[in-house]
Amino acid sequence: MGIIVNGDSLRSCSSRGPGTQDSARPFGAGMNRLLTAPAALAALLFSTTALAQDQPPPPDPLSQGPDDPAVPTAFDGDYLTVGVGATYGPGYEGSNSYVVSQIVGVMGRLGGITITPRPSGLAADFINDKQDAKVSFALGPVARFRFDRNKQIRDPVVYALGTRDVAFEVGGTAGVSVNRLTNPYDTLSFSVDVRWDVAGAYKGNVIQPTVTYATPLSTGIAAALTLHAEHVDDKYAHYYFDVTPAGSAASGLPVYTARGGWKSAHATLVGFFDLDGDLTNGGFAVVTGFSYARMLGNIADSPVIAIRGDKDQFTFGGGLAYTF
């Protein structure tokens, strides 16, 4: 079970047919670690567990310099977060039909291993950095499902091209984060995922570089801005964006052969709101997010997008989470 959100999908998918388809440390080292999770709404579907009642309120993060001490939080040790929510966005990559979809997922830290969400998947970081590290690193496996054009395709012309099998992408992720840039709690992180489809759907690979900046805006509000892009190979491009002669006959679209390259670029802005106004002391949290993606290059010229879809992709989402 993975939390969804990043530029290629702030959503999951459900029913089939011509319907629609399935894309640090504020307040201490642990919360900083959480805010470095890649890219978007899902990465911030969390809240903190309660601290001792006699602890003083946290300092205003915006009044502190990067060398000031950060207060401890529940994220400094083991924790598990469960989040649920909904998004409104394109039914599939390049679609101009928008759908409402559910998001459900988990993230946490257990035994020194950090678990972070991916769209319909998870990643693990096996590097156990010191909590006060100025520079921290991430390295581990990543896996996700890709439901693109498998279900919920509302456009009858695209549906006539046929549905696509569910892909299961497995690979590795590596990253580095610079902490405490302007205050004790902000983080700038860089990461790269490299994944291969092992389910026999498109049988190719995807490379995804990501940059995220996360910071608290007050004692009860945090925000994260994430930029990422996806580079795909020819196998991916052919599987999702070709129009074969048979597909042309069925749909009326012109024959087209797509090529690999930079498929899309994404920007996501997420706001996190602790319901009791204190990011350190727990309870439920509400998250809202907005993502914009631009389809690129040869893939954006595919009739699936250029004739029947839209190069510009917008997704809105929100959710509620609780940390154990």
Bridging pattern class, strands 261-274 and 113-118? unpaired
Residue 49 has pLDDT above 70, yes or no: no
Q: What is the DSSP string of 153-220?
A: ---HHHHHT---PPEEEEEEEEEEEEE-SSSTT-EEEEEEEEEEE-SSSS--EEEEEEEEEEEESSSS
Q: What is the pLDDT of residue 8?
A: 40
Q: Is the pTM of this model over 0.85?
A: no
- Determine the pLDDT at residue 280: 67
User: Is pLDDT of 28 > 70?
Assistant: no
Q: What is the pLDDT of residue 109?
A: 87
Rounded distance between C-alpha atoms, residue 107 and residue 121, angstroms: 10
Q: Which of 2.102.10.10, 2.10.70.10, 1.10.760.10, 2.40.160.40 would CATH assign to domain 29-323?
A: 2.40.160.40
Give CA–CA dist 136/151, Å, rounded: 39
The answer to which of 33-42, 91-100, 216-225, 305-314 has the lowest mean pLDDT is 33-42
Average of per-residue pLDDT values in the chain: 82
The answer on pLDDT for 55 being more than 60 is: no
CA distance 57 to 36: 24
Q: pLDDT tens digits, residue range 292-313?
A: 999 999 999 999 999 999 999 9
Burial class (CB in 10 A: 0-12, 13-18, 19+), 241: buried
Domain ranges of the chain: 29-323
Look up residue 110 and give its two tokens.
């257990």
User: What is the residue whose two structure tokens read 């599987």?
Assistant: 239
Taking the alpha carbons of 154, 259, 231, 163 in that order, is the dihedral positive or negative? positive
Higher pLDDT, residue 242 or 73: 242
pLDDT in tens, 169-180: 999 999 999 999
Which of 278 and 101 is assigned the larger pLDDT? 101
CA torsion through residues 191, 187, 26, 215, sign: negative
How many Cβ atoms from other residues are within 10 Å of residue 17's Cβ? 11
Of the ranges 85-94, 128-137, 140-149, 153-162, which one carries the lowest mean pLDDT score? 128-137
**Which of these ranges, 65-74, 119-128, 225-234, has the smallest mean pLDDT?**
65-74
Collapsed DSSP state (helix, strand, coil) of residue 40: coil
Q: Where are the alpha helices (H) located in the chain, listed in sequence order? A: 29-35, 156-160, 234-241, 245-251, 297-300, 303-306
